[in-house]
Amino acid sequence: MKSTVPHLQKGDTVGLVALSSPAQPEKLGDAIAFLEELGLNYIIGDTIQAKYDYLAGSDEERLADFHEMVRNPEVKAIFCVKGGYGSARIAEKIDYGLLEENPKVFWGFSDLTYLHCAINEYANLVTFHGPLLMSVGRIDDLSKKMFLQLFSPMELQYTEDISPLTTIAPGVARGEIIGGNLRRLVNTLGTKFEISTEGRILLIEELGETIPNIDAMLQQLKQARKLEQLAGVVIGSFTQTEADEAVLFALMKDYFTDLGIPVVAGFKMGHDSTNIAIPLGVDAILDAQEKVLKILPGVH
């Protein structure tokens, strides 16, 4: 299990950064209002205004902004406002030792999956897979409420009270929960940030991919021998796949039923109006019979 990070308190300052595609600063109003609702102050990073082709500033600018937020003792959390593409380009240059010495909340999802993998492994810290601040006006109240887990240690319990769940394969597993966006997880293969799956529970989610593309990505994970070592699988939101749920679940069964591990689908984690935030790098229990996922707190 990774080290948890210090919890937030009302009045704390958080840093807003764009480590991937360019942000649209004029659309940050909802995000800022939401932070104020939570009782948080904020610093807007240089990358929020920056643009360099399809990136939120050059690699050097994005790296410097991230390091600045890590170094600043006033900043207690780093919130990514936008996904897209680009975080992998700075992963190799990040000072993970600096982050380990200055542990703080790192929050985001989608493209930031690459940095979740990197920070979990190289700074040995828990990170948070949750809605990007730019989308805060498009998520529901339950998803907003999940930000409260940053203010005091709370065990999360996901049951069918939140959304209907489907057991793809039976069983009960305990292990560190890791993962995120399927494409970005596949992007780590063959790099020093390659996702480590042994004895772990893997979360996967995806947006706008066809079934053949999802199949190809799962096949790559399988051939990289990442599936046979898993303890369990949590299947999050697969939105805009151009196929109905039955086709997607049949594909998941094809890959996961012979592994002898619990696999459950239907979790609202990912690109959807309900996007339940969870800590990555903490212990979790997945029970496919009871259809429940319990996750230990990510803060102390």
Phi, psi (degrees; rounded to nearest 5) at 294: -110, 135
| Separation between Cα atoms, residue 151 and residue 147, nearest integer Å | 8
- Both structure tokens of 253: 């069964």
Specify whether the CB–CB gap between 79 and 107 falls below 8 A: yes
Specify whether the CB–CB gap between 99 and 29 falls below 8 A: no
Specify whether the CB–CB gap between 268 and 238 falls below 8 A: no
| Separation between Cα atoms, residue 167 and residue 90, nearest integer Å | 38
Ranges of beta strands (E only) in 18-90 are 41-44, 75-80
Specify whether the CB–CB gap between 84 and 112 falls below 8 A: no
Tokens 């209907």 -> residue:
164
Active site residues: 110, 205, 271
DSSP 150-186: GTS---EEE-TTTS--EEEE--EEEEEEEEEEHHHHH
Tokens 């979990």 -> residue:
120
